[in-house]
Amino acid sequence: MNKEKYTSLEIGILLFFLLNSFTSSILIKSFSNKNAIDITISILIALLLGMPLLNLLFRQWKYDFLNNISNNKIITIIFKIVFIISSLSISLYSIFNLSVIIKDIILPNTSQKLTALVFLLLTTILALKGLKSISIATNLMFFFYVIIIMIDLVFNLFNVDTINLLPMTINLDELNFFETLILTLSPLFMILIIPKGELNNFRDCKKKMNIFYLIFFIYFILKILFIISILGEKYFSIISYPEIEILKMINIFNFFERLEELLIVTIFIENLITTAFAINYSATIANSIFNLEEKIYIIIDVIIFILLLKIDMLSNIYLVIILSIFIIFNLFTKKEKRRKN
């Protein structure tokens, strides 16, 4: 494992991608059939629930938790296995979503398993290089990401119709409790998989993480409102990929059209980084039990690929259960031993 340390900005950018991977396509879809105000309230509730939990988890944050979870060896192994399972499920979820999107949008005739395998190998190569390489790759991709988001935004502004956001009424009965729960838990998980031993200055990183956590929620609310204002809530609830549907409407000076297959790369970037990160995390923990070094990546790849072959549909319920267990386990780990920087 590469022992180079992160800067706090690198962590912030990395976190932004990790948080976004969950919101792309699948989570946006789960908020369908609601009006814009209800969705905004759901997201704000998720933020309000998540903030105290996040700070609670920061207090429990351990610098070298892999060796200091508990004095009891069996409990340590149980904790580690929970962490491995949860991070594997995240990588499985991301790679599955990615392959489904590719099959639905770009390559309808190619086997979904084949695309999943290609991206799995790609992410494994990135994961093998170490965390510093992942964060450098993330920082480089961030520029492309921002440029593409700006193109999406600027050339879709003409399609925005604010009347689609009306009526401004609140139906508290219709709030989507389950999706709010996922939105509360998944960002927390993403923050927790960032390895603690690699941070340069914990206090500064904590500040940056809190800021990017807020930025992510604001970005998510704006993104959903932007999509609804273009598509209208009825159309938004019917189509499978509202995020990609608005890309189809982009027409740059009547000259550049049909750009969605190029602009879709933002979803690729988010999911690939998340998968690489989750694979690296599970491999690191698994190595602390079995000490297999690079071979562990092959084992992880094989496990994920076998699970991908068996899965036809991924339900959010399992994800919530796994994430909840992970966060509860994290809360029970010992208090941090402060290291003097």
Partner 1 sequence: MKKLMLIVMMFLICGCSNYNDISNIAVISLVAIDYDGNNYISYVKVLSSNSKNEENLYKEECPSLANCFERLNNKLTKRIYLTHMDLLVLSNNLNIDNYNEIINFFTNEETSRNSFNTVIVNKIDDAILNSDTNDINSMLDLSISTNLVAKKITLTDIIKDILNYKVSYIPYLEIDKEITVKGYKVIYDDNKVLTKGESIALNIIKNLEKNFTIMIDNKIYKLEECNTINKVNDNKVNINLNCKYEGNNKKESKIVEDYLKQIIENFIKNNNDNYFRYLMYKYKKENNYNIDYQINIKVNYQESIGGNIFE
Residues that bind partner 1 (CB under 8 A): 108-111, 114, 117-118, 121-122, 124-125, 128, 163-164, 166-167, 169, 231-235, 238-239, 245, 248-249, 257-258, 294, 297-298
Q: Which two tokens stand for residue 22?
A: 């969950």
Select 177 or 255, whichever has its Cβ closest to partner 1: 255
Kindly tell me which of 207 and 258 has the beta carbon lying closer to partner 1.
258
Nearer to partner 1, 109 or 315 (CB): 109
Q: Which two tokens stand for residue 116?
A: 């999943």
**Residues 301 and 285 sit within 8 Å (Cβ to Cβ):** no
The separation between the first and the last C-alpha atoms of the chain, rounded to the nearest angstrom, is 22
Q: Which is nearer to partner 1, 184 or 229 (CB)?
A: 229
Which one-letter DSSP state was computed for residue 232? -
φ, ψ of residue 257 in degrees (nearest 5): -130, 175
> How many CA atoms are closer than 13 Å to the CA of 339, on its beta-carbon side?
13
Q: How many CB atoms lie within 10 A of CB 163?
A: 9
**Tokens 């770009």 -> residue:** 106
Q: Compute the least distance from the CB of residue 295 to partner 1, in Å.
A: 8
31 vs 297, beta carbon nearer partner 1: 297
8-state DSSP, 198: G
Least Cβ distance, residue 257 to partner 1 (angstroms): 8
Which residue is it, tokens 């594997």?
88
CB of 94 to partner 1, least distance (A): 18
| Nearer CB in complex with partner 1: 125/262 | 125
- Closer by beta carbon to partner 1, 44 or else 118: 118
Q: Which two tokens stand for residue 32?
A: 């369908």
Compare residues 54 and 247 and give the one whose CB is closer to partner 1.
247
For the bound state, the minimum distance from the C-beta of residue 85 to partner 1, rounded and expressed in Å, comes to: 24
Cα distance between residue 71 and residue 159, in whole Å = 60
In the complex, the smallest distance separating the C-beta of residue 90 from partner 1, rounded to whole angstroms, is 21
CA-nearest of 279, 258, 247, 315 to 119 is: 279
Task: Find all residues with CB under 8 Å of 83, minimum gap 6, and list them.
Answer: 281, 282, 285, 326, 329
Burial class (CB in 10 A: 0-12, 13-18, 19+), 34: buried
For the bound state, the minimum distance from the C-beta of residue 232 to partner 1, rounded and expressed in Å, comes to 4
Tell the smallest beta-carbon distance from residue 56 to partner 1 (Å).
40
Q: How far is the CB of 338 from partner 1 (least distance, A)?
A: 38
CB of 248 to partner 1, least distance (A): 6
String of DSSP letters for 130-197: -HHHHHHHHHHHHHHHHHHHHHHHHHHGGG--GGGG------GGG--HHHHHHHHHHHHHHHHTS-GG
Q: Which is nearer to partner 1, 295 or 337 (CB)?
A: 295
Q: Which residues pair with 6 in a beta bridge?
A: 199
